[in-house]
Amino acid sequence: MTEIQTFDHDVLVIGAGGAGLRAAIEAASKGVSVGLVCKSLLGKAHTVMAEGGVAAAMGNVDDRDNWRVHFTDTLRGGQYLNNWRMAELHAKEAPDRVRELEAWGALFDRTADGKILQRNFGGHRYPRLAHVGDRTGLEMIRTLQDHGIHQGIDVHMEVTIVTLFTREGRVAGALAYDRERGRFRLFRARAIVIATGGVGRAYQITSNSWEYTGDGQSLALQAGAALQDMEFLQFHPTGMVWPPSVRGILVTEGVRGEGGVLKNSEGRRFMFEDIPENYRAQTADTPEEGWRYVTGDKDARRPPELLTRDHVARCIVREVREGRGSPHGGVFLDIAWIRERLPKAAEHIRKKLPSMYHQFKQLADIDITTTPMEVGPTTHYMMGGIRVDGDSQMSTVPGLFAAGEAAAGLHGANRLGGNSLSDLIVFGKRAGEFAADFARANPAVAPDGGEVKEAARDALAPFDRPTGESPYAVQHDLQEMMQDLVGIVRTESEMIRAVEGLVRLRQRAARVGVSGNREYNPGWHTALDLRHLLTVSEAIVSGALARKESRGGHFRNDFPEKRAEYAGFNYVLRPGADGGMELGKEPIAPMRDDLKALVEEFK
């Protein structure tokens, strides 16, 4: 085996989306050497897809807003399974992080008095999301990229991490390959930040990009770290459903924030028929009041289309199952109707939602200014992930940090829209800061040479089986199985079949083969991604089977209600003795009294 090129960094950041870039920038600002590894080209991580906005209680549109309301909104949305310390820090620090983006060149839409404009979004009491049209994710990642490239960070583009190494109980480094030539690289680092995003590519219908194969969660578990809340997967209510090739692509909640309404095949706004008790006091009684809310009337309450995503998604599933769906198996999302209320409505829609307009026109031949869209649930976001300390974002393995979607805790059982972009910059910054501190305080430990060689050999194994089964086929079958058996509505018998299915898929994955050579060989890359996909799929099913209740994004047909005995703890997964995973419970620490008082006050 040829020599492996080695890179030494104080801090290694894995993933260059919003969280990874922000972490790398922060670590670099503390004077340590930083390496940033990304699977795709710089600036093209999944963050680029985020549309709605970044939630921060700046109070620019409604001065009744402040961190306390944001904090309690986040907990209510998370069904109180959140890490409350993270929710506190997030609400307090998001405004500063957003203002910092502006200092780095981000250009958000403006209010009439020249401040950053904020829009309404599901689950947020006041208009809170700073945005740029419907392309806020692009704005964020581009701003961080353009700032980051001048901070002395070493960027390793199109490089994929294969495994992490630990020594003496803490992180030592990682083995990776470059996609271009397939050569291995050994990264030695004193601290590692995982910011690899979510797991949507384990499902057939998803809004997630190619790179979302659960790498970070899987790498962390293999390295000994605990995962948490893996049963809480968010199915965004409005993904495209037709034509088949665009199924799953996101239709931003911002459409509903601008007045878009959901209707079934009978033309009814079915969301009005099912408003949950704990949101009733904050939700409009009539369509008229709902419209007044989206146009900025401070005395009006939000329309039921802006209830939390888990609830809206389940309502849509119910309409479809009961035969009131749209022709292609979704429901109708209609923004065209606002021409009854606004002059120049078409222009307004094209200005506020340009990429939605473009997406539907180009991919589905539909003009959203005249015609309703067909939408349905799509696998969108993983609330669970690597268990971390709220302040430092360090996992249960010393020196291993996580931030962004790959980390767990902030969002509890269900995430509010807009809270992900803010999550990235608040906790990306913290993870980078504390990773730098850790690197300064701890000497480097070298990964074991034997382990490195073994990992490289193992990664090349698929080439020994050129006639083995195609890795694409295994991924396809996994996606179909998870979509059918561990989707938005879960049942014990189906999930048990999924567990058995995963055993068979693991066996197939261990025997997949690839042909050709190591140069830019996506078949080989997919074969390696399979390990991560299978690990996170197993984690999702384990949590989903154990939690015998319905809460937030996790809904069980056989236990359709929230159950008190399942409140107050998170399901945690740790590596098991035989290479599998072991499930345990971690009680949620009692909330600080001042924060408890806030929750009561804003109930």
How many angstroms separate the CA atoms of 67 and 87, rounded? Answer: 10
Q: How many CB atoms lie within 10 A of CB 71?
A: 23
Part of the chain binding another protein (CB under 8 A), chosen from 21-29, 41-49, 311-319, 367-375: 41-49
Among 4, 275, 300, 363, binds another protein (CB under 8 A): 363
In the block, tokens 């703890």 appear at 569
Judged by CB under 8 A, does residue 361 bind another protein? no
Size of the site for another protein (CB under 8 A): 63
Site for another protein in 486-515 (CB under 8 A): 514-515
In the block, tokens 């999944």 appear at 46
Site for another protein in 245-264 (CB under 8 A): 245-246, 249-250
Among candidate residues 22, 70, 128, 256, the one labeled active-site is 256
How many angstroms separate the CA atoms of 534 and 530, rounded? Answer: 6
Site for another protein in 531-560 (CB under 8 A): none
- Annotated active-site residue 150? The verdict is no
- Strand order through the sheet with 233-240: 233-240, 373-382, 331-334, 261-263
Residue 226 has which token pair? Answer: 């605990």
Judged by CB under 8 A, does residue 97 bind another protein? no
How many angstroms separate the CA atoms of 11 and 188, rounded? Answer: 9
Which string of x and - marks every residue 402-421 that binds another protein (by CB under 8 A)? --------------------
SS3 355: helix
How many angstroms separate the CA atoms of 208 and 144, rounded? Answer: 21
CB of 99 to another protein, least distance (A): 6
Residues ≥6 apart with Cβ < 8 Å to 277: none
Could you tell me the end-to-end alpha-carbon distance of the chain, in angstroms, rounded to an integer? 63
Residue 123 has which token pair? Answer: 């689950």
Among 4, 8, 29, 44, binds another protein (CB under 8 A): 44
Q: What is the number of helices (H) and of strands (E) in the chain?
A: 17, 18
Part of the chain binding another protein (CB under 8 A), chosen from 25-33, 464-472, 498-506, 528-536: 464-472
Q: How do beta strands 154-157 and 129-130 pair?
A: unpaired
Part of the chain binding another protein (CB under 8 A), chosen from 15-23, 227-235, 467-475, 577-585: 467-475
Judged by CB under 8 A, does residue 42 bind another protein? yes
Judged by CB under 8 A, does residue 169 bind another protein? no
How many angstroms separate the CA atoms of 453 and 450, rounded? Answer: 5
Site for another protein in 102-161 (CB under 8 A): 102-105, 107, 109-110, 113-116, 132-133, 135, 138-139, 142, 146-147, 149-150, 157
> How many alpha carbons fall within 13 Å on the CB side of residue 388?
36
- Annotated active-site residue 236? The verdict is yes
Residues ≥6 apart with Cβ < 8 Å to 468: 462, 511, 512, 513, 514
Judged by CB under 8 A, does residue 523 bind another protein? yes
Judged by CB under 8 A, does residue 46 bind another protein? yes
How many angstroms separate the CA atoms of 214 and 194, rounded? Answer: 11
CB of 523 to another protein, least distance (A): 4
Which string of x and - marks every residue 297-336 that binds another protein (by CB under 8 A)? ----------------------------------------
Judged by CB under 8 A, does residue 344 bind another protein? no
Q: 329's torsion region: left (phi>0), alpha (psi -120 to 50) or beta?
A: left
Among candidate residues 76, 188, 236, 301, the one labeled active-site is 236
Judged by CB under 8 A, does residue 195 bind another protein? no
Among 517, 567, 568, 580, binds another protein (CB under 8 A): 517
How many angstroms separate the CA atoms of 48 and 421, rounded? Answer: 10
Q: How do beta strands 227-228 and 129-130 pair?
A: unpaired
CB of 520 to another protein, least distance (A): 4
Residue 213: name the closest of 544, 526, 504 by CA: 526
In the block, tokens 């670590």 appear at 27
- Residue nearer to another protein on the CB measure, 146 or 322: 146
Judged by CB under 8 A, does residue 470 bind another protein? yes
- Residue nearer to another protein on the CB measure, 288 or 519: 519
Question: Which residues would be at the binding site for another protein (CB under 8 A)?
Answer: 40-44, 46, 48-49, 99, 102-105, 107, 109-110, 113-116, 132-133, 135, 138-139, 142, 146-147, 149-150, 157, 180, 209-211, 242-246, 249-250, 355, 358-359, 362-364, 470-473, 476, 514-517, 519-524
- Please give the positions annotated as active site: 236, 256
